[in-house]
Structure 1
Amino acid sequence: MVVGLACKKVIQVNLHEASSRVVIEGEITDIPGIYQVKISRTVPYSDDNIFPPVQGAIVQVTDSNNGILYPFVETYPGLYTCKFTGVIRHTYQLTVNADSQLYTASSTMPAGVRLDSVTFAVNTNLNGKKEINAVVNFQDPPVPGNYYQFIEYLNGRQIPDIFVFENRLSKGRYIEQALYNDSSYLQKGDTLEMKMYCVDKNIYNYFFSLAQIIGNNGGFQSASPANPNTNLTGGALGYFSAHTVSEEKLLVY
């Protein structure tokens, strides 16, 4: 199943709720680099659309397979970073202590699947206009429980659409899946960077539910009756994901 709905990757809550909620967004990958955990707070609908950072938190990630602890340092208000490399099939435990409240999350990095290629297809949209869509091509492993997320960058800027895929009905098949954009349209000569993440089931459920909320409520201008299915405990919104990355950069043709 592929979900492709236009939305920005901003955590959405009931805009009329009075109490502020902590929002945590963190990712670890199999690519060496500096990983980030962003912590902020929600604001009421009547306030400006500025989410205040949560400063002074204690943030750490523990590799449950070997016990190694990675402390994150606040390098910018609300932004906590640490440099290391995630390992496939390892489970990572995030703990955040912010304002005397403990938040935790766990994510297991799946085995990676290689993005073979990105091609393009010309389709006619509902308005009768021709549009170019990227097509991702890859071999799905012949086992159940594979979950994917696709991120597109068009001319250096991320396309704010959600694309998630699970192989419940297609395990073991060669996948050729078009990604239909609602917010940005490809033109010949554009530079496209496609990233394919292999994510765990909790992260798939988070983005799938986020896409459903946005699709059922007319976008982020509407108050949501529910929040996405987070893997965080302690009442926080957001997600913590350990995933692999396969990517390709090319010109649209």
Structure 2
Amino acid sequence: MMKTSVWMLAFCVTSFYSCQKVIEVKLNPSSPRYVITGNITDQPGPYEVKMTSSIHFDQDNNFPAVSGAKVYITDQNAGLTDTLTEVTPGRYLTHVLAGVPGHTYKMVVMLGNETFSSVSTMPPPIALDSLYTKAATFGDGTDVVALYDDPVARGNFYHLVLAVQDRPSREIYLHNDKINNGATVTHVLNNDVDIRRGDIITVSLQCIDTDVYDFYYSLDQALKQNSAVISNPKTNIRGGAMGYFSAHTTRTRSFAY
């Protein structure tokens, strides 16, 4: 019987500041895969694209950076293309782009004879109205609750990122307005972070497009599988790479517990 190799990859999910949460995923491709993560927001740049490679499951969790790629991002509304600069191995930064709600952005990554591309449209921003804590629904911990108003117009998708003292939660928090459109959302963030008195709690509310929502949703479902090897998360990147490219707005609040 032919033995199937198992590979592991890491998605670096950008939150606020420069902190990130790294989500490791074991998957089952026939060979190592490139992993691309790119983000543009309505906050001041520069914006970042990262490129790494998956590794075999028995290797150390040191995902190799991929250097030497040519990376471009185009604001298709403004007709402006930014050529990114590799500032450290596998980390590419913009120079002149500004994230504008309603604009559509196209990312192109070229490496050797391979080309990867993705398109993402930045939704309008939604205010993060307030934050508070409550006793955890399960266990002895503390849940964080975020309140925000979903607009009357349908088709809004949200990704929330939680950090305590700059320690990002590994949980994936998502919401869409398919059921409670136009209502005030009370979003309980069950978390894996030990919250102590005096800690600074920070939540970022990202308005994302439908393809990016599908990526996070499929990643969350994959991580909840009980098998040792999980199905590949859905990607919005064409050309054979994994990962995501997201043009999103972000609103952030912090408070002391």
Settle same-fold status: TM greater than 0.5: yes
User: 1:101 corresponds to which residue?
Assistant: 114
Q: Which runs of 5+ in 1 are unaligned?
A: 1-7
1:143 maps to which of 153, 157, 172 = 153
User: 1:1-253 to 2 correspondence within 5 Å?
Assistant: 9-10=22-23, 12-15=25-28, 17-83=29-95, 84-125=97-138, 129-181=139-191, 183-217=192-226, 222-224=228-230, 226-252=231-257
1:217 CA drift (Å): 2.8
Name the TM-score, length of structure 2 as normaliser.
0.88
Letter in 2 for 1:167: D
Deviation of 1:30 after TM superposition, in Å, equals 0.2
1:67-97 Cα offsets, whole Å, 9 max, x none, are: 1001100000000001432000100000000
- Rate the CA distance shift 1:11–1:242 in 2: closer, same or farther, 3 A: farther
Distance of aligned partners of 1:101 and 1:154 in 2 relative to their CA distance in 1, 3 Å threshold: same
- Looking at both structures, which has the greater relative contact order when contacts are Cα pairs under 8 Å and sequence separation is at least 6? 1
Query: C-alpha separation between the residues in 2 aligned to 1:203 and 1:185?
Result: 29
Residue 10 (structure 2) aligns with: none
Long gaps (5+) in structure 2: 1-20
- The separation in 1 between residues aligned to 2:69 and 2:241, in whole angstroms, is 14
1:157 and 1:34 mapped to 2: Cα distance?
Answer: 23
1:13 to partner: Cα distance: 4.8
Deviation at 1:11, TM superposition (A): 5.7
Alpha-carbon distance between aligned partners in 2 of 1:50 and 1:89, rounded to the nearest angstrom: 37
Q: Which amino acid aligns with 1:191?
A: I
Tell me by how many angstroms 1:132 deviates.
Answer: 1.5
Q: Is the 8 A contact 1:62 1:92 kept in 2?
A: yes
Gap change, CA 1:147 and 1:13, over 3 Å in 2? same
